[in-house]
Amino acid sequence: MNFSIFSVSDYYPDAHPSYEQFYKDQIDLALWAEKLGFTGYFAAEHHFHPYGLIPDPTLILTAVAMQTTKLKLGPAVAVLPFHNPLRVAEQYAMLDQLSKGRLILGVGSGYLQHEFGGFSLSPANKRAQFDETLEVMEKAITGKKFSHKGEYFNYKKVQLQIGTYENREITPKIAILSELASYYVGKRGYGIMTIPYATVDKIEDASALYNSYRKGWAESGKEGNGEVFAAIHTHVCDNPSEKNELNKHHIEKYVYSRLYAKHSDYDECLRRGVIASGTPDEVTEQIQRLINTGVDHVKLLMAYGAMPQEEVKISMERVAKEVIPNLEPAPVKA
């Protein structure tokens, strides 16, 4: 099992400091994650709205890379329809070089209408644009010469000056929102990144999503069982979940100011099992429920809704010391 920290970097002008200090706080949490022994740190890419204040994850991830030695780093996710495939390959190859091979490359097709509008792109074309951008990016990031002729891009004998660290192979992880997409991504031999809050009603429903992925993976011809990443909002304290007023305030500030299709209040999130909140024992049980649906890599969302920085750091430490040691991998199905 792997446990990482994931930040959407949601920004609130009424509660947060300057942009500069906000970015420094995000880096501080990543450095704290390495000290606590977390596997990695992931940053979301967002545009044109305080929903997320990191338009280019490579910048903040590079800052973290230069101050860490073990922490895996990656976007969750790079929104490929917004990028030239050669540029995104160059950027993430450079991050892989600077981090000495610590890149985990999450990619997706995007889902927020205002972002497509801001870039004057049609969401109707996003799947085709994503597929072709991914194809070109994967060729380019190897550092080898290649040609490509497609619907959106045409390149003749082009070669980047850099590739991945020590020419290692990078297989992207693809963000998905549906069971059908899960199957096809598995069949193509990629890992998947998910946020159950935005995808399923109850956490147990995620099992169907991940079973579909494993079915596709089994048909891919690749070895192993694939890799499932799942994110969950998490806060540990001394109060039981029903009395965790601090988390209730910040979860609801996050949910009702965000751009999700689903707006569940705190109590509804607990009922659905899509957040982990309360005492260490409660949070252990809640995250274990998520793992048991078939998750390999848990991405913990712990800084959201303008949660105070020191409170986030305390909660991170308690997760590392009082929760993770008590968690077990998902049972292997016969």
DSSP string over 215-246: HHHHTTT-SS---EEEEEEEEE-SS-GGG-HH
pLDDT of residue 261: 60
Smallest CA-to-CA distance from 297 within 130, 74, 96, 69 is with 74
Residue 331's pLDDT is: 85
**What CATH number has the domain bearing residue 289?**
3.20.20.30
HSE-CB of 220 using CA atoms within 13 angstroms: 22
Q: Provide the token pair at 56.
A: 């280019």
According to the 3-state scheme, what is the secondary structure of 123-171?
A: HHHHHHHHHHHHHHHHHHCCCCCEEEECCCCEEEEECCCCCCHHHCCCC
Q: Where do we find the tokens 């891919």? A: 220
Task: Give the pLDDT of residue 288.
Answer: 98
73-86 pLDDT, tens digit per residue, is 999 999 999 999 99
**Residue 56 DSSP code:** -
273 in a domain, yes or no?
yes
Alpha carbons 274 and 32: distance in angstroms, whole number: 25
For residue 127, what are its two tokens?
């799947």
DSSP 103: B
Average pLDDT over the chain reads: 96
Q: Convert the pLDDT of each residue in 209-241 to its tens digit.
A: 999 999 999 999 999 999 999 999 999 999 999
pTM for this model (two decimals) = 0.97
Is 39 in a helix, a strand, or coil?
A: coil
Does residue 112 form part of some domain? no
Residue 254 falls inside a structural domain: yes
Q: Looking at residue 166, what is its pLDDT? A: 98
Amino acid at position 125, single letter: N
Whole-angstrom Cα distance, residue 279 to residue 170?
Answer: 38
**pLDDT reported for residue 89:** 98
If one counts the domains in the chain, the total is 1
Residue type, 278: G
- pLDDT score of 333 more than 90: no
Write the pLDDT tens digit of every residue in 16-74: 989 999 999 999 999 999 999 999 999 999 999 998 999 999 999 999 999 999 999 99
> Is 167 part of a structural domain of the chain?
no
What are the tokens at 159? Answer: 């070669």
Taking residue 240's Cβ as centre, other Cβ atoms within 10 Å add up to 12
Helix, strand, coil % over all residues of the chain, rounded to 5: 45, 15, 40
- What are 91-145's pLDDT values in tens digits? 999 999 999 999 999 999 999 999 999 999 999 999 999 999 999 999 999 999 9
200 has a pLDDT exceeding 80: yes
Query: Which residue has tokens 């590392």?
Result: 320
Looking at residue 5, its pLDDT comes to 98
Q: Is residue 261 part of a domain?
A: yes
Domain that holds residue 244: 2-76+176-326
Say if 137 falls within a structural domain. Answer: no
For the chain, what percent of residues have pLDDT higher than 90? 95
Q: Tell me the mean pLDDT in the region 148-160.
A: 98
- How many other C-beta atoms lie within 10 A of the C-beta of residue 67? 12
Cis peptide bond upstream of 77, omega within 30: yes
Q: Is residue 120 part of a domain?
A: no
Task: Please spell the DSSP secondary structure of 191-223, one letter per residue.
Answer: EEEE-HHHH-SSGGGHHHHHHHHHHHHHTTT-S
pLDDT digits (tens, 9 = 90+) for 237-260: 999 999 999 999 999 999 887 776
Is residue 64 included in any domain, yes or no?
Answer: yes
319 pLDDT above the threshold of 90: yes
